Structure 1
Amino acid sequence: MSTNIKHHVPPLKEDLSNWVTYKKRVTVAVTSHGLDYFYLTGNATPLKDDEYDKLMEALDKYETKEAQLCDILFQTISTSLFLRIKDEATAYHVWKELCSIVEDKSPISVDSLHNKMMNLRTPEEGDIRETLTQLQVWYEELAGMGYKVPEDSYMTYIRQSYALAAAQITHNGEVIDTGASRHFSPILSNFKNLVRIAPSPVTAADGHSFIATARGD
């Protein structure tokens, strides 16, 4: 009986920043393959020695499910994590140890990811859209870890991130009336019903570019 199964669990990142979504996807994958979540809780037990002869088929099924679950975990973690948990006795103990390692480090991981946001910069010849996309990814990953980046801080990170790329800007100011159907302002208090949007580059008629980060009335 093969112990290999197909799954769609994205690998756990080296910095552990996607732990929340990874953990959920593992539990869903376990259930979808008929492994049942009790294999991760320690409630699944192998057969006793005196039952071995008459229930060999059931034992084989148990060991296969154990191997399938370990295969999901081992394929989706870094080598350093694998070396720390590979010798655990059962799939339950492998999963328990992985949860313990990662969740004990979550505060550090949050700080690390937050620092990456603060220090991200677009090179002079870089694409601001790639920078904005990366900021959005980190913002959502932090939210998934239970940390919401304050709105004003997020806007500051966006402005800082394109400082090098925008080094040739000669003037910063508020656009009061663009003569178009939509008007832009860096002052959030000028708007009603303000809603944050994914940062989007906007090019004015005169060729100047800026970043729209929210919209409102």
Structure 2
Amino acid sequence: MDTMLPSSNSSLFNVPQLVEDGTNWITYKERILTVIGARGLMWYVDGQATKPIPYALDAKTGKPVKPDGMPLTATEIEELDDKIDKFYQKDSLVKQQIFGTITDRLLLRVQKLKVSAKIWAEVCVIHEGKTELVQIDLRRRLQDMRCEEGGDVKAHFGKLL
């Protein structure tokens, strides 16, 4: 049994763009969260992933020190640097997935937020309220649709669907 995940360039990771008016919000949200989850990055969307805290600097030497004031080894500094780099790389992957599927107007609105969890939360706030309006508008449009006298009933049902 093949347990390899498809490459990140796979069409499985393509999410259609979120339209300006949010009419595809419900399906967009499900698709983007599925893609982010498939990449193992859900902690970055829900805010559970946190940036590692850098070591404090010694006031006299300006070098990083442990909480007890002891100097750090080169290995300890490198390990923390690696953890910080890994956080930024994964957070940036989530940002790119979101930024690549939203409009430029929305991107300009959320780009000031620093981490992907805050960006996603803002996108949700903006579009969650629109969902009800979209449903109301859709119901109104469905109720207003009529099959013309002598029109093609099959085509009319196709439009309704």
1:153-180 alpha-carbon deviations (Å, 9 max, x no partner): xxxxxxxxxxxxxxxxxxxxxxxxxxxx
Decide whether aligned partners of structure 1 residues 59 and 127 sit closer, same or farther in structure 2, where only a CA change above 3 A counts: farther
- 1:54 matched to 2:59: no
The within-5 A match list for 1:47-86 is: 47-50=52-55, 53-86=78-111
Which stretch shows the higher mean deviation, 79-88 or 46-55?
Answer: 46-55
The count of corresponding residues between Structure 1 and Structure 2 is 130
Q: CA deviation at 1:119?
A: 4.5
The within-5 A match list for 1:156-195 is: none
The within-5 A match list for 1:1-217 is: 5-6=8-9, 7-35=13-41, 37-50=42-55, 53-119=78-144, 132-136=157-161
Q: CA deviation at 1:127?
A: 8.6
Q: Which amino acid aligns with 1:75?
A: G
Structure with greater Cα Rg:
1
Q: CA deviation at 1:45?
A: 0.8
TM-score of the aligned structures, taking structure 2 as reference length: 0.67
Decide whether aligned partners of structure 1 residues 34 and 133 sit closer, same or farther in structure 2, where only a CA change above 3 A counts: same
Higher strand share: 1
Higher helix share: 2
Q: CA deviation at 1:30?
A: 0.8
Q: CA deviation at 1:23?
A: 1.2
Decide whether aligned partners of structure 1 residues 87 and 119 sit closer, same or farther in structure 2, where only a CA change above 3 A counts: farther
Aligned CA-pair RMSD: 2.7
Q: CA deviation at 1:58?
A: 2.1
In the alignment, structure 1 segments of 5+ residues that lack a partner are: 137-217
> Whole-Å Cα distance in 2 between the matches of residues 65 and 131 of structure 1?
48
Which stretch shows the higher mean deviation, 8-17 or 95-104?
Answer: 8-17
> Whole-Å Cα distance in 2 between the matches of residues 119 and 78 of structure 1?
30
Structure 2 SS opposite 1:95: helix
Decide whether aligned partners of structure 1 residues 11 and 121 sit closer, same or farther in structure 2, where only a CA change above 3 A counts: farther
Q: Which amino acid aligns with 1:68?
A: L
Higher relative contact order (CA 8 A, sep 6+): 2
> Whole-Å Cα distance in 1 between the matches of residues 101 and 154 of structure 2?
29
1:54-90 alpha-carbon deviations (Å, 9 max, x no partner): 3222222211111111111111122222222121110
Question: 1:183 — aligned with what?
Answer: none
